[in-house]
Amino acid sequence: MNQPAQPYVRIGTQGVRPADVIAVSRRQARVQLSSEALAAIRESRDVIDKLARSPRPAYGVSTGFGALATQHIPVTQRVRLQHGLVRSHAASTGAEVEAEVVRGLMLLRLATLATGRTGVREVTARRYEALLNSGITPVVGEFGSLGCSGDLAPLAHCALALMGEGRVRLPDGRASTAADALAQHGLEPHELVEKEGLALINGTDGMLATLCLAAEDLTHLLQLADVTAAVSVEALGGAGSVFAPDLQELRPHPGQSVSAANLFAMLADSPIVASHWSDRSTRVQDAYSLRCAPQVHGAVRDTLDHAKAVAARELRSAIDNPVVMGDGRVESNGNFHGAPLAYVLDFLAIAAADLAGISERRTDRMLDPARSGGLNAFLAEDPGVDSGLMIAQYTQASLVSEMKRLASPASVDSIPTSAMQEDHVSMGWNAGRKLRRSLDALTRVLAIELLVATRAQDMRAPLSASPALRAVRDAVRRVADGPGPDRHLAPEIDAVVGLVRDDAVMAAVRDVGVTLA
């Protein structure tokens, strides 16, 4: 939360872009409701005000919620109804959800308010806008959402902060009560009226924010995976020719072509590769973890493209129940069900686990003297006296095993709630939470492959790496030493993880004129 503020993200009636979610979540961009959105909000509120005066029951306006929808609420109790809804639904527990996820879900809730389908007042939308722009972040616990009726508990904690209740984090990360935080920023606690409490909590925004952030992270990790694979192929003296464009055209999956092109470009002009393939009399092809890297990495790319398409559709959606239609009807619906998001969140966790798995197999091959093509056992300086990078692969294996567990889909589970009114739920929030843990593990797996592969590169001396991969090795050497006697390994692993997260590895490739897709 310490990065400089970005220009305003404009929120209209047609939703926001994935880049807007990243800007607000991670770069603290401020938001601004458009005049078109404010007009749509006022128009839909007129409809709700008429319903509030009508004797006809209307869900969320003059009735209870969920299984209590048959209970009519008198006019004098309707403010209490909305406030009680928010207070009772702010029921999450567990570790705090990351601030970037909370900011993302708040942006997406505001974007749905801006569609003019929820029936909130203009003042409520503006107060929510002001809360987001203040940098105050409501505290949300990790457990509580089932991903159906939307992310009720996480969104309720945000609405609770708008009311001046509950716990929050100030822009500098310090804990505070919502009441004190609002006062420090010149904001007043907000009173909700008919329909507003429901409109602030009934959305898929937590799942969608998580998906947008994960898609951004996995996009970068896929480029990194191509880099680490290329360094490993080179260090093992693998063939770069198998990544040639004409071979990829025989199986025209788009992701495979992209990954193969990246590998082909990075391995160009490699003296190490040229040396190992100068005599093909005893070697005709590489192991699958090398030769099939584009097929696996590419399949992850194509899976990610599908997930991005789902996110793009959801970003243009108006998720609430009931909704105000353009002709003035107020209709119940099931658009809050998180299944479309839950499936792709699970799908990405499966793909990420396989991407980590092939990375670990390449690492293990470099450490095994029977398969490494002449490298020292475990890349140790004096095998036996030194253990080298033996245990780095253990760490990788531990991470990959955890990722396989996290790949078990959450979306196949459903536990009925609300006295069987909500009898099928998506568990999409849980799918998103485990995907975040999986992508953190993937970052560490790839960092370890990079640490191992660059040491293997060094041990091929006097043969040198390709220009692009020599630049990668040099970047790693700025934070982790090359071959030598055994030393404390954990700080080196963490340093390379930091290097990866800072984009320094990709910058090194770009600096030598190699552009990766």
Largest CA distance in the chain: 90
Point out the catalytic residue in the list 8, 59, 128, 288. Answer: 59
Per the CB < 8 A criterion, the answer to whether 347 and 333 are in contact is: no
Query: Quick check: bond before 462 cis, omega within 30?
Result: yes
CA 61 – CA 422 distance, rounded (Å): 20
Q: How far is CA 369 from the centre of its chain?
A: 38
Per the CB < 8 A criterion, the answer to whether 457 and 373 are in contact is: no
- H/E element, 436: helix 428-458
Nearest to 292 by CA among 316, 323, 259, 265: 259
Residue 31, SS3 per DSSP: strand
63 DSSP β-pair partners: 72
Phi, psi of 138 (to 5 degrees): -60, 145
CB atoms within 10 A of CB 38: 16
Cα distances (Å, whole numbers) of residue 166 to 89, 137, 175, 329, 389: 12, 11, 11, 35, 48
CB atoms within 10 A of CB 338: 30
Residue 105, SS3 per DSSP: helix
DSSP 241: G
Tokens 């939360």 found at: 1
The token pair that represents 50 in the structure block: 């008429």
Q: Is 128 one of the annotated active-site residues of the chain?
A: no
The token pair that represents 244 in the structure block: 């040639």
CA 341 – CA 204 distance, rounded (Å): 8
Residue 32 burial (10 A CB sphere; 0-12, 13-18, 19+): middle
Per the CB < 8 A criterion, the answer to whether 453 and 232 are in contact is: yes
End-to-end CA distance of the chain: 29
The token pair that represents 256 in the structure block: 């495979």
Q: How many helices (H) and strands (E) does the chain have?
A: 20, 9
CA angle 373, 378, 383 (to 5 degrees): 105
The token pair that represents 70 in the structure block: 């048959």
DSSP 378: G
Residues carrying an active site annotation = 59
